[in-house]
Structure 1
Amino acid sequence: MSFDLVAQQPKLLYLLQGVAAFAAVVSLLLLALHRGPVRRRAAAFLLLAPALLLLTAGLLLPALRTLALSFTDSSGEAWAGVENYVWMATDPRALVALRNTLVWMVLVPLSATAVGLLYAAAVVRSRFQAFALSLLLMPMAVSFVGAGVVWRFVYAYRAGQSRQIGLLNQLVVASGGEPRQWLVDSPWNVLLLVAVMVWTQAGFAAVLLAGAIRAVPAELDEAARLDGASPRQVFWRITVPSIRPTLLVVVLALAIGTVKSFDIVKTMTGGQSGTGVLAQEMYDQAFRYGETGRGAALAVLLFALVTPLVAHQVRARRRAV
């Protein structure tokens, strides 16, 4: 134990020095702004400079480094051209990971948003609204790793005449069916992993959409009902169009998070049986197989998938403001 503490001392010292230097720079900037007249643009730049410096060191430079590594061989040193990208476009395992990632990007945001919308519409006017929303929000308190462990037991399978411990197989046996290896059977295993992600994210969608539904003017609902509209018509023709900006934000936020999904797949299947996704394949190539160039190429592809979603979300928020 004492050896570990001694080994960690230089790292702690460097961390403290970095924090102290950052605090000193910020203090000097604030002092300069306080003592002398500075134009608004110059003041804004000075205040943003430390954050921009940290973003450059923590995000921009690593991104450029990853892009450069994607054109190198497995060692990350010798130039390999577009060989890694050719591998990514032809390797069956990489193509399966890309296909599954696209499936996740479509199914998870739409399913979680649909569940959250219907649930929010059902409980938003009730007296127990806060309690009902908290029930659906509870899975968000569980990490993706924890959710994967829990649902792996739900999908558990025992061969032969052994008593099934998985909830899903218990229900199948109770209804007269035969138990199945759910996490091995394709394509059901991919859909069942998607269901876990939806379970964890539906509460996020429900809370945001419930707030948006409450913000819809009551006069619109009353006017529609006076015109003879049914509750279903009021919901689809008045409520849903009124909360469309929030719906878009929720879908985009879930899509961005889904592209980077890694924990659930890694915990439940390890990417086996055709369940791999790009983030998990990137990890395997870079850290398990030592293929630095291939892992970097997959990271670049992930960045390319996320960038349009982020740009669209920023544009939508600007229009909303």
Structure 2
Amino acid sequence: MTDKSGITKTIGVVCCTALVMLGGFFALRANVLNQLLTTFVAVIWGVASVGLLFYSLNLIAQNFNTKIYNKIVPYIFIGPAVLIMAWYLLIPTVRSLGLSFMDKKSEHFVWFDNYKYLFTDKTMLTSIRNTVIWLFFGTGFSVLVGLITAILAERSYIEKTAKTFIFLPMAISMVGAGVIFKFMYAFRPVGSEQIGLLNSIVVTLGGQPQNWLGKAPWNSLFLIVIFVWLQTGFALVVLSAALKAVPEDMIEAARIDGAGEFRILVQIIIPNIRSSLISVSTTIFLAALKCFDIVFSMTNGLYGTEVLASQQYKQMFKFLHYGRGSAIAILILIAVSPVIYYNLKEFKDKEVFK
């Protein structure tokens, strides 16, 4: 332990930190300032509180000997983040699990009735089917197109320009992309002027205009095109970086031995970028599983385009059935958990985590 002056300093700083954090919280809660000033004070208070918190915890740890300090200091810096994550993720998850066994108004237990509804209701079965389609085609095509464009960009004279244009859609929100493609898929009756790009092309070529978003299950595939357009840039950037790490001498040796480009891709390139492929695939998989914005902005779930995320939103905020909405949330969590577990298992084998 350190001397009394160190302990006194620690107590003083801890008290000051508590005073700043609690005082700022109650002052902002009172809402006595105008909106602009409240925002400014909140930013300053938040940054100062976090800085004082870590400084106080570090001072407390310094009152112990070096051996103990080295053991507890990592937990000091990750502790607040873990607590915040637990507060915003773990507690709501446990609460959602409890609500999923209760009725519409969360007053009485109905046990597994909400889960029975998930697998017997026609709309829910459609949502599950569409979600599986999103996961398979959305993830598969995003990774495939990203890999192909990464390989082609590597051999192009306009590599940087090509990658920039392919990555640009990542800067657009899913709702924004939905608005853009809504005009591309727009449908007007036969004989009317077509404002949609696709139908304009079809009519110009002598065909009949089609209601692209009105025919299930093909409309889900047209929605997935938007998702692939947005996610391809992410896959391209990650996989392009991984391709640059593939040893060039291995590829040259394979070519000298007579291996074709496809064989080099399958037996050399893909095994060397396997970890990047897994990371990209699982990240896009999770995004597809939770995708709500595109469906909501394009069709609002009509014409058989419902997915689990859109159904959860409607059950919770439109029909105000908290039991069914929570049950859908738990179903999504169950679907996400194996992917997260697999990711953590893969990362555990990497050097940075050893």
Fold similarity call, TM over 0.5: yes
Aligned residue for 2:53?
25
Equivalent residue number for residue 337 of structure 2: 307
Computing the radius of gyration over CA atoms, which structure comes out larger, 1 or 2? 2
The reply to whether residue 148 of structure 1 matches residue 181 of structure 2 is: no
* 1:218 aligns with one of 220, 244, 248: 248
Q: Which residue of 38, 44, 47 corresponds with 2:77?
A: 47
Match of 1:198 in 2: 228
Corresponding position: 1:170 with 2:204: no
CA distance in 1 between counterparts of 2:95 and 2:39 reads 23
Cα deviation, 1:54-108, whole Å, max 9, x if unaligned, reads: 1121111111111111111111232221111111111111111111111111111
- Deviation for aligned residue 1:15: 8.6
Shift of 1:319: 2.2
Match of residue 86, structure 2, among 56, 77, 81: 56
Shift of 1:51: 1.4
Cα deviation, residue 17, structure 1: 6.7
Contact 1:115 1:202 in 2 (8 A): yes
Where does residue 228 of structure 1 map in the other structure? 258
Contact in 2 for aligned 1:105/1:259 (Cα 8 Å)? yes
Q: Tell me, which stretches of 5 or more residues in structure 1 are unaligned? A: none
Q: Deviations over 1:210-247 (max 9, x none)?
A: 11111100110110111122233322322122212211
The runs of at least 4 consecutive aligned structure 1 residues that moved more than 4 Å come to 3-23
Going from structure 1 to structure 2, the CA distance change for 1:35 and 1:123 (only over 3 Å counts) comes to: same
Could you tell me whether the CA contact under 8 Å between 2:168 and 2:233 is conserved in 1?
yes
- Shift of the 291–16 alpha-carbon distance from structure 1 to 2, 3 Å rule, reads farther
- Counterpart Cα distance in 2 of 1:234 and 1:23: 52
Task: Say which structure, 1 or 2, has more relative contact order (CA 8 Å, 6+ apart).
Answer: 1
1: CA distance, partners of 2:32 / 2:221: 44
- Amino acid in the other structure paired with 2:186: A
1:32 deviates by 2.2
Partner of 2:314: 284
Q: TM-score with structure 2 length normalisation?
A: 0.84
**Given the two structures, how large is their TM-score scaled by the length of structure 1?**
0.92
Structure 1 residues 299, 15: closer, same or farther in 2, change over 3 A? farther
2:105 maps to 75
- Residues 22 and 50 in structure 1, CA contact (< 8 A), matched pair in contact too: no
Question: Taking structure 1 as reference, are residues 18 and 227 closer, same or farther at Cα in structure 2, changes over 3 Å only?
Answer: closer
Q: Distance in 2 between matches of 1:15 and 1:88?
A: 43
Q: Which moved more, 1:170-179 or 1:200-209?
A: 170-179
Q: Partner of 2:284: helix, strand, or coil?
A: helix
Counterpart selection for 1:99 from 129, 146, 157: 129
User: Is 1:252 aligned to 2:274, yes or no?
Assistant: no
Per-residue CA deviations over 1:151-192 (Å, capped at 9, x if unaligned) read 111100011311111111112112221111111111110100
**Cα distance, 1:9 vs. partner?**
8.8
Aligned to 2:7: none
Instruction: Give the 3 Å change call, closer, same or farther, for CA 301–216 of structure 1 in structure 2.
Output: same
The 3 A distance-change label for structure 1 pair 124 and 187 is same
TM-aligned CA distance change 1:218 to 1:148, over 3 Å? same
2:27 match? none
May I ask how many residue pairs the two structures share in their alignment? 319
Looking at structure 1, the residues matched to 286 and 278 of structure 2 have their Cα atoms a distance apart, in angstroms, of: 12
Contact residue 190 and residue 208 of structure 2 kept, 8 A: no
Q: Is 10-19 or 284-293 further displaced after alignment?
A: 10-19
Q: Shift of the alpha carbon at 1:315?
A: 1.1
Percent of aligned pairs with the same amino acid: 36
